[in-house]
Amino acid sequence: MVIEKHELSRLAAPKAGPIPPFCVGCGYNLKGAVSTRCPECGRTFVAREWEAKAAELARDGAEIREANEWANRGLYVALAGVVLTALRFVLLASCLSDVFRMLGALCGVACLFLGIGTYRVARLPEWVTEELAPQPNRDLGAVLLVIGLGLAGIVFY
């Protein structure tokens, strides 16, 4: 296979952000490689494929960071929901009770969405997490789902 000149120059000056040239087939890091053949799986390096895949991974990484940030904010929403729901039971005789009931349930629904967000984004291959983003925080997502279900469910009591 003939390697096009522009592909070699792209190899020398990667434009895929922080991701080094890697094998699209197996993820092997090709930084500093002298051959266009992957030493791990034998696949021929094609700059266009690498750039497309790197751009895709960068998008996934950005989505993961965003989902994790929202999940972190979800903890405050959960806390607010617990406080509002507690106030509702404290003020059971007051007409404010129903307001707190609805606000608590709304916080619960918000927690559900923020928790699900960590499951909707794709996990990254492990070899690229250092450059791009951590994995989706699905443990926190699960906590938010449980709290959200509790807050949304208790509205019926």
List residues binding Zn ion (CB under 5 A): 23, 25-26, 28, 38, 40-41, 43
Nearer to Zn ion, 26 or 79 (CB): 26
The least distance separating Zn ion from the CB of residue 46, rounded to whole angstroms, comes to 12
* Cβ-based nearer residue to Zn ion, 51 or 77: 51
Q: Name the one residue in this structure whose structure tokens are 């997490």.
A: 129
At its nearest, how many Å lie between Zn ion and the CB of residue 128?
14
Minimal distance, residue 139 CB to Zn ion, in Å: 32
Residue 64 gets the label, from left (phi > 0), alpha (psi -120 to 50) or beta, of: alpha
**155 within 8 A of 130, measured Cβ to Cβ:** no
For the bound state, the minimum distance from the C-beta of residue 26 to Zn ion, rounded and expressed in Å, comes to 3
Q: Which is nearer to Zn ion, 124 or 144 (CB)?
A: 124
Task: Give alpha helix (H) positions in the chain.
Answer: 5-12, 47-90, 96-120, 138-153
Q: 26 vs 92, which CB is nearer to Zn ion? A: 26
Secondary structure (DSSP) of 123-143:
PPPGGGTTTS-PPP-HHHHHH
